[in-house]
Amino acid sequence: MGNIRSLEKVTAWDRSTAIHLLSRTLFGFTNEDVNFALSMSIDDYVDNYLLSDLHEPQSPGFWVNDTDSYNNSVRSRELTYWWYNLMLTQGHSFREKMVLFWHNHFVSELSVVKLPQRMYHQNRLFRQNAFGNFKELTKQITVDPAMLIYLDNTKNRKEDPNENYARELMELFTLGIGNYTENDIVEAARALTGWQVEGLQSYFNPDRFDDSQKTFMNETGNFNHEDIIEIIFKKPEVASYICRKLYKEFVYFEPDENVVDQLASIFRDNNYELKPVLSTLLKSTLLQSEEIIGAKIKSPIEFIISLTKQLKLTSPNYEYMRDIANDIGQTLFSPPNVAGWEGDKTWINTNTLPARHIFSDRIINGDRSPLKILEYARNYESSEDAEKFIDEIADIFFVYKLSDGRKEYLMELLLDGAAVYDWSTYNENAEARLISFFKSLCRLSEYQLT
């Protein structure tokens, strides 16, 4: 394990490597997806599929350009279902995971922003820049209507500066705490004055702009928001801050600072273009190292969407998915606060873990889904051979490899007292056994890891 922490490119592109890569970059996958990835080289797969620039998807409806607040709650549901659907149907693209990453980075909350339309347009901005240029995204999000409202920058004007956005821009969005002074916040707030929102548009109002000299991070000038961002991005900490966050999200929750430094230097060398960083990371031995395989706790959305995809449900019950996502701590467009969802162990507690189990139970027994378990099982080549079937299912459902003991336990559930050679999905009680088998499978603690 000499170079486990290395960003060198993997040499082995095999089934377990592919399964791990897919589990971190997609919202769930099927057997067919793994085979597809393995039909080409890892370079080809990462650069031409995961990181490819897809067309923009259709919007959830004409209402996204309406400025009224008619039917807000219906629209916000439609918006969530629309995003769920994208997560389920964007094939081999990494884009939706990055959109969620940005949603959790440049946080806004629907309850403050009021109009789902504004959240849609912000989401669109994330999608357009999902793996584009981070500096550019920062400039655009600064004048994004939802963000302007969310962090009070519409109220920030020459006579009465409001520091809320200036602070979070540095503390949470770019530099991290400790890399700026309280005075930098005061000066940045002045440079960020003048922006207002009308309906779904933001605009610059020169009358409210503090049109005078500011001294920000030892530079003096009549700065506006773009100047401030340019100055912030001169600091090396920006690249480290973002790369650390990418590491925590896609590799492991406790970052290796040495690797973060290496990624950050790639990020700076490429003038904050994300693709070179992501491409290196996704192909690296680091992401593929034994050490981190299965070491990520699934976020609620990952958990819900990946189960849906694993079970090949084409018309899932979005309403139920949204209700459960809410119960287990991740309502899209409503992060808990400006720092976003914290992730990792905070996802799992004595309340949310049982709720995750209830979700998988109800999806599998058809109570809240159109699942036909027999048909589903028969999709697998191995469906009539209990041992092979368990192996094949475990391969797709678990990134964290199951012990032999766990597989035996699953086998007992599947056979329910019968002999191995007697197993068939055409047995009289096969349906009940399959339901109990899949329910228990998803209740294994290992299923929460990816």
Partner 1 sequence: MDLRNFIRQLGMLAGAGAMSMTIGNTPLRAFGKSLYKIKEVNGKVLVLIQMSGGNDGLNTVIPYEDSLYYNARPNIAISKSEAINLNSLTGLHPSMQPFKEFYDEGKLAIVQNVGYPSNNRSHFRSTDIWLSASDSDEYLNDGWIGRYLGNTVANDSNYNLDHPMAISLGSTQDTLLSCTCQSGSMGISFEDPNQFFQLINGSSADTDPPPNTVAGHQLKFIKDIAARSIRFAEIIKEKADTINNQVNYPNTDLADQLSIIAQLVAGGLETPVYLASIGGFDTHSNQLGRHANLLNNVAQSLGAFQRDLEALGVADRVVTMTFSEFGRTVEQNGSGGTDHGAAAPLFVLGSSVNGGIWGDNPDLSDLDGSGDNKFKFDFRQIYSTMLRDHLGAGPDDMENILFKNFETLPLVSVKHISSGGPRAFELNQNYPNPFNPSTRITYTLRLPQVISLKIFDVNGRLVKTLFNGYKEAGTFHEFFGGLKYPSGVYYCQLISGSYRKTIKMSLLK
Residues that bind partner 1 (CB under 8 A): 152, 155-157, 159-164, 167, 171, 177, 182, 252, 290-297, 327-329, 336-339, 345-346, 348-355, 357-358, 361, 400, 403, 405-406, 409, 443-446, 448-449
The distance of closest approach from Cβ of residue 174 to partner 1 in the complex, given in angstroms and rounded to an integer, is 14
How big is the CA angle at 406 (ends 403 and 409), to the nearest 5 degrees? 155
The distance of closest approach from Cβ of residue 225 to partner 1 in the complex, given in angstroms and rounded to an integer, is 18
> Half-sphere exposure of residue 226, counting CA atoms within 13 Å on the CB side?
3
Handedness of CA 275, 278, 283, 284 (dihedral sign): positive
CB closer to partner 1, 124 vs 155: 155
With helix as H, strand as E and coil as C, how does the chain read? CCCCCCCCECCCCCHHHHHHHHHHHCCCCCHHHHHHHHCCCHHHHHHHHHCCCCCCCCCCCHHHHCCCCCCHHHHHHHHHHHHHHHHHHCCCCCHHHHHHHHHCCCCCCHHHHCCHHHHHHHHHHHHHCCCCEHHHHHHHHHCCHHHHHHCCHHHCECCECCCHHHHHHHHHHHCCCCCCCHHHHHHHHHHCCCEEEECCEEEECHHHCCCCCEEECCEEECCCHHHHHHHHCCCCHHHHHHHHHHHHHHCCCCCCHHHHHHHHHHHHHCCCEHHHHHHHHHHECCCCCHHHCCCCECCHHHHHHHHHHHCCCCCCCHHHHHHHHHHCCCCCCCCCCCCCCCCHHHHCCCCHHHHHHHHHHHHHCCCCCCCCHHHHHHCCCCCCCHHHHHHHHHHHHCCCCCCHHHHHHHHHHHHCCCCHHHCCCCCCCHHHHHHHHHHHHHHCHHHHEC
CB closer to partner 1, 71 vs 403: 403
Q: Do residues 399 and 23 make contact, with C-beta atoms less than 8 angstroms apart?
A: yes
The distance of closest approach from Cβ of residue 296 to partner 1 in the complex, given in angstroms and rounded to an integer, is 8
Q: Identify the residue whose tokens are 């769930």.
A: 28
CB closer to partner 1, 129 vs 440: 440
| 58 token code pair | 């259709």
CB closer to partner 1, 263 vs 338: 338
CB closer to partner 1, 85 vs 162: 162
The distance of closest approach from Cβ of residue 224 to partner 1 in the complex, given in angstroms and rounded to an integer, is 19
The distance of closest approach from Cβ of residue 263 to partner 1 in the complex, given in angstroms and rounded to an integer, is 19
The distance of closest approach from Cβ of residue 41 to partner 1 in the complex, given in angstroms and rounded to an integer, is 27
CB closer to partner 1, 156 vs 224: 156
CB closer to partner 1, 23 vs 383: 23
The distance of closest approach from Cβ of residue 289 to partner 1 in the complex, given in angstroms and rounded to an integer, is 10
CB closer to partner 1, 100 vs 402: 402
The distance of closest approach from Cβ of residue 203 to partner 1 in the complex, given in angstroms and rounded to an integer, is 18
The distance of closest approach from Cβ of residue 444 to partner 1 in the complex, given in angstroms and rounded to an integer, is 7
The distance of closest approach from Cβ of residue 227 to partner 1 in the complex, given in angstroms and rounded to an integer, is 22
CB closer to partner 1, 192 vs 328: 328
The distance of closest approach from Cβ of residue 13 to partner 1 in the complex, given in angstroms and rounded to an integer, is 21
CB closer to partner 1, 279 vs 450: 450
Alpha-carbon gap, residue 189 to 184, rounded angstroms? 8
CB closer to partner 1, 57 vs 294: 294
